[in-house]
A and B are shown apart, each in its own frame.
Chain A
Amino acid sequence: MNRRPLRSSERAVAGLVGLAVFFGLWELLVRALNVRPFVLRAPSQALRYIWKSPHFYWTQAMTTGREALLGFLLALVIALLWGALMAASSILDAASTPVLVLVMVTPFATYAPSVVLWLGSGWKPIEFVVGLACLPAFAFAAADGMRSADTAARELLHSVDAGRWEVLWRLRLPAAMPSLFTAARWNVGVALVIAYLVEGYALVTRGLGAAGKRAAAFSNANGVWAVVFCMAALGVVGMLAIAAVRARVLHWHASERRPTI
């Protein structure tokens, strides 16, 4: 099968078709098997529920999306600096790895309440925890990608005494882009889920997490599923955005080129 890279528009259409098929099968199964509503709702019920108050769900989705995006970007900036240091120094690399693994494996629920106590309620603890959760994948990707820069090119820059920042900017950072985009795809999901869950700790009244928590407290299954659908929509938008940026930035990379065989 010819696996050619898709244009952004083609990717968006293919994603929508995939979702339509998934929801269609879900709808069909719920109706055909007559699944009881408290076990599983049909997607049409959740969509009808969103349709009743679209402005409310749009506002909540924008809040959660903004929190996830800011935490994601915060992690990316810190990881680029941290990854550059790890790539430049084996001692820093060895010292950083266990710390990043610790961050990665510690359930955020154990420290999220402390972060809320420290930073107060509101968006700050949400950004902090999202940033922390996204950091390890970005830092490992940045360090590995920067280390993988072509040896001949590194030596070439060394032969004209290029400065560390020049080597970072002109060679190591572009070389790290493919692995950074892979980490970004993973972190879109991480950022959204963590933002959703930490909204529950941060005593905020806006956002999909807060709306989902309220719906669950009132046993409003339609409300819970509506929030789930909004989260899925945010995830798809995030993935499409990453794919569009990747196609532009990595136009030179084998993964974005039309294969010849």
Chain B
Amino acid sequence: MSNIILKNITKSFGTAKAVDNLNLEIPDGSFTTLLGPSGCGKTTTLRMIAGLETPTGGEIWIGDTCVYSAEKGIFIPPKQRNLGLVFQSYALWPHLTVFDNIAFGLTIKKLSKQEIAARVQEIATAIRISELLARYPSELSGGQQQRVAIARVLIMKPEVLLLDEPLSNLDSKLRMDMRAELKRLHQETKATIVYVTHDQLEALTMSSDVAVMHLGKLQQWAPPMQIYRRPANLFTADFMGNPKMNSLKGTIAKVDNGIVVQAEGFSIPVATGSAAAKRVGEAVTIGLRAEDLMVHLQAKPKTVSAIVYSVLPAGSEWYVKVNLGSVQLTLTVYQEMEMDADDTVWIELNTNRVKCFDSEGMRLDLM
């Protein structure tokens, strides 16, 4: 068993709190991603799990072992935690060959030369770097260095694999390939993976669970699609998804045929039985993903007119920026349309997908 439990973990640097009262329970064998902008405390959290940083308060459990407790004065050093960490920079030792880099941990364990050679060979074959063993890290490409860094960690058979932005130094094509490989690796090793990234697409495509962090605090912790569909707050909604979610200021209003949210000419009916009835008159923010907006070249019922600001073709889809009153919206369009800057178009909403947030930025389940 190697689930990871963080209880009330806090880490302060001076007066600044890098991680603020974080509670997380990473299940055994899961692929959990810590997602957030730089400075949100995700890497610090990872390093605390690894034992490279000591928290200021709280408890960390790996499996049945408490590896850190401020209260009880427990600190299990990193090497006894049976985990592997792949660094963002890969941290390959430049003065050692690939073989020696991979073999390092086993030589510390004082295994016999034959056994080390056999195990290095085995892992190198599995990860397809066996022809690189005699080289030095500086003679490898970024992708190859990445593989060596992973091999160096996997050879120790860790129960927990920590990955700190491992793809950020690769070009976008290679990144695509490596995503698939890392996902595959997870299925093969069955290790618990904790993955740190600021790239929401990586989080979406690879993880079984995503923990979104901001300013040291956990924002939401759920499977990726749930975060995308049902973001807990405005920050999460904003951070997940590309292009960025559109947001409009609106109010809850009572009209003839029930309660609606009114914003920039749109009138969005709320679901029956929702809490909206008690909140009539309250200001809210509504979130609209680019793909939940449809554009028409002619006026239609339930549409609102807007002026095209610019059109950005991106191959399989087009991004269209339109000015609607005082706000600018970004839309995704999936087929070619006759449209140019300054044209008038009509915007329709997919009302089922509209997200609504209260004045504090927390999600309201209205639709």
A and B interact = no
Chain B residues at the A interface, C-beta cutoff of 8 Å: none
Interface residues of A (CB under 8 A from B): none
